[in-house]
Amino acid sequence: MKIGIYPGTFDPITHGHTDIITRSLRVFDKVVVALAPNPSKHPLFSLTERLEMIRVVMKDIQQVEVTHFDGLLVDYVQRYGAHAIIRGLRAISDFEHEFQMALINRKIAKQVETVFLMTSEEYSYLSSTIIKDVASHGGALTEFLHPEVARQLQERIRSLKT
């Protein structure tokens, strides 16, 4: 069984993320969506909330497992017994950063591959940061997020404004 690990902060999970996850299943038998803590980011949602949102969005896809990890990603990939890291690319700027990460990961663990998937054109502009900005200005979210995730984001934004 070929297993791919798709790491990210997912704050919140967007249609762009789900696009990468579902398309990854064309390459892998199982995709593990691994929530990564990122000390340089200050998530709007807690780890538990983000895990639950991802589980709601992915609930009908049996080949997807949702989890989290601490420490180095390559260590987690090896412990899990996965075959590759999955990364989505929206633009050239994404590639530069992801290329550096793939090289350092390969230096640490030669057997861990990184697979890059280009984001579908309809999601190429989408990021969690942009979506949070749209939400903070009262914009519609249904084109970008699962309805339950949109509801939670709108609720969180409202609570921060009061």
Amino acid 22: pLDDT: 97
Band of residue 42 on the pLDDT scale cut at 50, 70, 90: confident
Pairing of strands 113-118, 30-35: unpaired
Q: Mean pLDDT throughout 85-101? A: 89
Tokens found for residue 55: 């589980």
pLDDT digits (tens, 9 = 90+) for 123-162: 888 889 999 999 999 999 989 999 999 999 999 999 988 7
Tokens found for residue 75: 């260590």
Residues ≥6 apart with Cβ < 8 Å to 49: 152
Amino acid 124: pLDDT: 87
Tokens 């070929």 -> residue: 2
Q: Residue 146: count other Cβ atoms within 10 Å of its Cβ.
A: 20
Q: Dihedrals φ, ψ of 69, to 5°?
A: -150, 160
Q: Mean pLDDT throughout 16-34? A: 97
Q: Alpha-carbon distance 121 to 5, whole Å?
A: 23
The pTM of this model reads 0.94
Per domain, the residue ranges of the chain are: 3-125
Q: Alpha-carbon distance 104 to 109, whole Å?
A: 9
**Does residue 39 carry a pLDDT above 80?**
no
Active site (annotated) includes residue 128: yes
Active site (annotated) includes residue 26: no
Active site (annotated) includes residue 17: yes
Contact 31, 60 (CB under 8 A): no
pLDDT digits (tens, 9 = 90+) for 96-120: 889 999 999 999 999 999 999 999 9
Q: Mean pLDDT throughout 35-58? A: 91
Amino acid 71: pLDDT: 92
Amino acid 12: pLDDT: 96
Give CATH superfamily name and number for 3-125. Answer: HUPs (3.40.50.620)
Q: Which of 15, 17, 87, 146 is catalytic?
A: 17
Q: Which of 30, 55, 68, 90 is catalytic?
A: 90
Amino acid 96: pLDDT: 87
Amino acid 141: pLDDT: 93
